[in-house]
Structure 1
Amino acid sequence: MIKKGLSLLLLLLAFDVAAGPDDEIAGLLTSQQAAWNRGDLDAYMQGYWHDPKLRFVSKGQFRYGWEEMLARYKAHYPDRTTQGELKFSQLDIRLLGKDVALVVGRWELARIKDKPSGAFTLLIEKLDDRWVITHDHSSD
């Protein structure tokens, strides 16, 4: 009887600890925010699909490719002062299928001279058994 009870308890704990897609996606964004805030753009970019078809839309411009996106981030945010502290908020994660989600939220940079902010929409897909951003549309 004790062995059965212990097995049932372990099974319930396993279900409680197992992260669902929403948790995994939120974890991806939390990891990105932490990487940005320590000034590590290379780690920040690990949340994106490392592929030439990655799409980024900002200020009315369509850009493609992981390499181009990383180069633009490094050009626009060359140091910790320009990077500031990133904060994501108002996250709304909607699963569109087993391996695809739409995420809408707000971003804000706290810097010494200003505090730019805006909204974003992300298409996040599970590719090769991990969630990655395949499309990013950010606005001011």
Structure 2
Amino acid sequence: MSMTPPALAAELAFRAKFLRIACLVNIVLFVLLVGGGTVLVTAVARATGASTAAGDEKEIRAVLEAQATAWNKGDLDGFMGGYWNDDQLTFISGGDITSGWKKTKERFEKRYKADGKEMGKLAFSELHVETFSPNAAMLRGKFELTFEKEKDDAKKTARGRFTLILRKTPDGWKVVHDHTSAEEKK
């Protein structure tokens, strides 16, 4: 059976339109399935207790408590245990960006462990944890670092605020990004 040129053109136009609609429907279904699957997996993880917002917050706060305890003992390695040991770790403070766990540790050593320097006593307060998923969270808070050796009261205490982005790794929650800013001395 042969078609006339106008009938063939109409048939081809119909098929092209049908294919465009079918492709669009497939894309929409794919997006819905992926999005719905993500929501479902998250809901199941939360519902089964594999991960709960309250449990995650408790674990995240424990990371900071362990860091403060280690810092106050002069244990920089213990303090650094709260950070993601990876070259993609970022630490921002005083307008400088430090990339990588090793360089971040070296920055702390130079600033707080070098000759004549002291680590001081570290305390965290006003902590606010926001979990984004079972594997990602943000923590905002305030720090206070008190130095015993300082004679000048203006230099005796450093205070400021920080924002941490944390990721749940096989080793537990780790800081993957730290943005810390000190209050200006008055």
TM superposition score category, shorter chain reference: 0.7 to 0.9
Query: 1:124 and 2:166 equivalent?
Result: yes
**Cα shift at 1:81:** 5.9
How many residues align? The count is: 124
Q: Which of structure 1's runs of 4+ aligned residues deviate more than 4 A? A: none
Q: Specify every segment of 5 or more residues in structure 1 that has no aligned partner in the other structure, as ranges.
A: 1-14
- Return the alpha-carbon distance in structure 1 between the equivalents of residues 176 and 118 of structure 2: 25
2:139 is aligned to: 103
- Is the Cα–Cα contact under 8 Å of residues 81 and 111 in structure 1 kept in the other structure? no
2:76 is aligned to: 41
Q: Which one has more relative contact order, counting CA pairs under 8 Å at least 6 apart?
A: 1
SS where residue 39 of structure 1 aligns?
coil
SS where residue 110 of structure 2 aligns?
helix
- Return the alpha-carbon distance in structure 2 between the equivalents of residues 107 and 72 of structure 1: 18
Which amino acid is the alignment partner of residue 88 of structure 1?
F
TM score, norm. by length of structure 1: 0.83
- Return the alpha-carbon distance in structure 1 between the equivalents of residues 172 and 136 of structure 2: 11
Out of 41-50 and 120-129, give the one that drifted further.
120-129
- Return the alpha-carbon distance in structure 1 between the equivalents of residues 107 and 117 of structure 2: 16
**Cα shift at 1:97:** 1.0
- Give RMSD over aligned pairs: 1.9
1:4 is aligned to: none
TM score, norm. by length of structure 2: 0.63
Which amino acid is the alignment partner of residue 140 of structure 2?
V
**Cα shift at 1:129:** 4.8
Instruction: Note the 1:87-98 alignment, pairs <5 A.
Output: 87-98=123-134
- Residues 58-109 of structure 1 deviation map (CA, whole Å, 9 limit, x = unaligned): 1111110000011111111116962110000000001011111100000111
Query: 1:86 and 2:122 equivalent?
Result: yes
Structure with the bigger percentage of strand: 1
2:179 is aligned to: 137
- The share of aligned pairs that are identical, in percent, is 37
SS where residue 73 of structure 1 aligns?
helix
Instruction: Note the 1:3-82 alignment, pairs <5 A.
Output: 20-78=55-113, 82=118
Structure with the bigger percentage of helix: 2
Name which one, 1 or 2, has greater alpha-carbon Rg. 2
When residues 40 and 105 of structure 1 are mapped into structure 2, their CA distance, relative to the original with a 3 A threshold, is: same
